[in-house]
Amino acid sequence: MSIQDTERHDPRFADLELWDAGTALTALWEGQMHAVAALGPALPDLARAVEAALPRLAAGGALAYAGAGTSGRIAAQDASELKPTFDWPEDRVHVLMAGGERAFLRAVEGAEDREDWAARDVADAGLGAGDVLIGLAASGTTPFTRAAIRTLRERGGLTVGIACSAGAPLLTEADIGVLIRTGAEAIAGSTRMKAGTAQKAALNLFTTALMVRLGRVYRGRMVDMNARNAKLEQRAERMLCELTGASPDAARAALAMADGKVKLAVLILDGHPPEEAAALLARHGGHLRAARRR
């Protein structure tokens, strides 16, 4: 029986339990650095995934994730950050977790093997040809994740498989496979370490690049963020001052007129009445740079 890369034993760590804390931490830290470096060769495939996902998401499609265990929890973290950071609509993001919501906090035995649950979850989420599904599995063999990918692909949706083991079936079953070769773990099979770090970093890159290309970032600022607390309100006001040269009072007033929407407030401070600003932004697909022509 073949052994996945993430399941292999690294001889370097044969005496790990005998090392002092400082030595062990240094070795584990080096593994984390390797995990991030392993993303380099995967960047072209991530870029292909971004470009392929753009038309569907720009047209109103949903972004979905599928995973089991650690991979599913990493997916949930990335998904949960899209609304506050980029104001991505909550009804257009789905996390298909093997075992359902209870599996986010505790293991659900046998859930990762339930292909029928994956097919059901894809259907229940209403995913179809206009949507994008990212399947995460360190080994690339998880039946639940693979079944979710196959199901949406059959429905005509775009599928992206992210795995850390060469030759993983997930990489060929998805429309676009992204291999991040993190190799053997310090603790064989403990993919919450290097593989988990690499998967989280890959999602950080993928969804951030997507949101930038979708016009939810302007001049390196999160102009579509959801200002839900005092800190974010202050950040929004500061962005307006930096982007338009307005005074703090004027920025605050424009933000109120724009119902907290930074991009609209920028155009209001540029001299457009609120309704005209909204129409201008809509005409340019939400891209503030195009709306300002600067």
Q: Residues 153-188: pLDDT tens digits?
A: 999 999 999 999 999 999 999 999 999 999 999 899
Position 76 confidence tier, pLDDT thresholds 50, 70, 90: very high
- Asked if residues 161 and 126 have their Cβ atoms less than 8 Å apart, the reply is no
- Considering the domain delimited by 39-213, tell me its CATH architecture: 3-Layer(aba) Sandwich (3.40)
**Annotation marks residue 81 as catalytic:** yes
**With pLDDT > 70 as the criterion, what percentage of the chain qualifies?**
99
3-state class of 221 per DSSP?
A: strand
Residue among 30, 51, 81, 154 flagged as catalytic? 81
Q: What is the DSSP letter of 107?
A: -
Domain covering 230-292 in this structure, CATH number? 1.10.8.1080
Q: What is the DSSP letter of 187?
A: S
Residue among 30, 101, 112, 275 flagged as catalytic? 112
pLDDT, residue 279, reads 96
Q: What is the DSSP letter of 8?
A: S
Q: Residues 247-291: pLDDT tens digits?
A: 999 999 999 999 999 999 999 999 999 999 999 999 999 999 999
Position 1 confidence tier, pLDDT thresholds 50, 70, 90: very low
Calpha distance 137→160 (Å, rounded): 11
Calpha distance 288→115 (Å, rounded): 43
- Which two three-digit tokens encode residue 204? 């950080």
**Annotation marks residue 112 as catalytic:** yes
Position 2 confidence tier, pLDDT thresholds 50, 70, 90: low
Residue extents of the structural domains in the chain: 39-213, 230-292
Calpha distance 70→33 (Å, rounded): 19
**With pLDDT > 90 as the criterion, what percentage of the chain qualifies?**
85
